[in-house]
Structure 1
Amino acid sequence: MKFKIDENLPVEFAELLRSQGYNAETVKEENLCGKPDENIIEVCQQENRILVTLDLDFADIRAYPPQNYPGIIVLRASRQDKLYLLPIFEKIIPLLQKETVNQTLWIVEKNKIRIRS
């Protein structure tokens, strides 16, 4: 699986994925910071990458129907600091082998994950 980590998340997300054998790039590494959502998701489609983001706009299935994308993982968090977000993200790493991400929307909260097709 290949991932794209949005600019609103710590680069450690990409490092964590890489340490588990996944291919992960960041929006910053590809000079996409500040680009509109449509550009980011288009690059994800072209590169067949799952987008990981805090941007709740990507949770709108009318605007971003999951079946049209390699996968979208949206973190819904009460805080956006690295020390709060990393443990939440670490919890989903084992699920990547058990659940499909392809053409789904994962909404990840501190104590639950919702998966929509």
Structure 2
Amino acid sequence: MKFKVDENLPREIAELLRSLGYSADTVEDEGLRGATDPLVVDAARKENRILLTLDKGLGNLVAYPAGTHAGVVLFRPPASGPRSAAAFVKLNLPRVLDLSLSGRVVIVTETKVRVR
């Protein structure tokens, strides 16, 4: 699997994925920092990369219906801040990596993982 890590997640998430043998880059790597959601989703789609994000707007199935992108994983940590987000993603990443993510929207909360 190939991943693109959104700018709202710490860079260390991409580094963690690479250490696990996955291909991972960041929105910043492509010079897309501050780009609109549609541009970020399109860049990930063109590279067939699953987008990892904290951006609730990317979980909108009307704007980003399943199958129109390579996949979106929306993490919803209970606390805000980069350290909390990084810890939440690291803790919950194993729950996601076993799923079929291609073209799907996956929402990860403390208590459940929803796949659409």
Distance (Å, rounded) in 2 between the aligned partners of 1:11 and 1:111: 25
**Equivalent residues in 2 for 1:1-117 (5 A)?**
1-116=1-116
Report the Cα offset of residue 69 of structure 1: 1.2
Are the equivalent residues in 2 in contact too, given 1:77–1:85 (CA < 8 A)?
A: yes
Which aligned segments of 4 or more residues in structure 1 are displaced greater than 3 angstroms?
none
5+ long unaligned stretches in structure 1: none
Percent of aligned pairs sharing the same letter: 38
Task: Give, as a single letter, the amino acid of the residue that structure 2 aligns with 1:7.
Answer: E
| AA at the equivalent of 2:44 | C
The alignment partner of 2:101 has SS state of: coil
In 1, Cα distance between equivalents of 2:49 and 2:42? 10
2:9 touches 2:86 (CA, 8 Å); kept in 1?
Answer: no
CA offset digits 1:29-74 (Å, max 9, x no partner): 1110011111101101110000011111111101000211111001
Q: RMSD of the alignment, in Å?
A: 1.4
Q: Does the residue aligned with 2:30 lie in a helix, a strand or coil?
A: coil
Residue type of the alignment partner of 1:77: P
Farther off after superposition, 79-88 or 33-42: 79-88
Q: State the secondary structure of the residue aligned to 1:29.
A: helix
In the TM superposition, what is the alpha-carbon distance from 1:83 to its structure 2 partner? 2.6
Size of the aligned set, in residue pairs, is 116
